[in-house]
Amino acid sequence: MCAKHSPKAAVCTLVLVRHAASQGAGSFVGQKDEPLSEVGHRQLKELARKLSKFRFHAVFASDLRRALETARPTARRQNLEIQIRPGLREMHFGRWQGLSWKQIRKREPRATDLWMRNFPSQPIPGAELFQGFKTRVKSELKAIVNANRGRCVLVVTHSGVIRVALADALAMKDKNISRLAQDPCALNVLEHFSDGVTVRLVNA
């Protein structure tokens, strides 16, 4: 990893962090621009401790408030500007955005049954298609890696984005992506080499 006293071997080390708890937690927040909750703000202190062992060359974040608010303390501490990337946004959940699973099940029982049975081929009504979301995320992360060779970068983003990155690195089937836990402030480390990628840490 890109700890302060470790030799740098990877072509690029990505430290992927899920944002702290936001208002609307427990619902399909998606691209709804919710700020951090009081709990989320309290979580930032522990996240800062976890990230203090890394020396970052750059900080990237989704343009949604919960990601930016999570990225700011570390960016400020390491004297780096946050590079905002809309491509790091969470998936758009269409008609389900901002609703809890209980609400969605009550409103659209048939649509939820089909979605659970046929994910990811079954789209959410009005939502971003999963394959389009996956392509967007992979393209954005590839661009970050290619522009930061020999560097260690922090990427503050969302659970869906991180799951896509991890599943791609681990050659997981899309239908199993939700098996990858991503708690608020989850820390994940991916080391990109010229011939592949190594997952060093998940949901820490």
Summarised one tens digit per residue, pLDDT across range 114-125 is 999 999 999 999
Mean per-residue pLDDT over the chain, rounded: 95
| Unique residue bearing structure tokens 């699973």 | 101
Domains assigned to the chain = 12-201 (3.40.50.1240)
Summarised one tens digit per residue, pLDDT across range 32-91 is 999 999 999 999 999 999 999 999 999 999 999 999 999 999 999 999 999 999 999 999
148-158 b/e with 16+ CB inside 10 Å = b?
beebbbbbbbb
- Give this prediction's pTM: 0.94
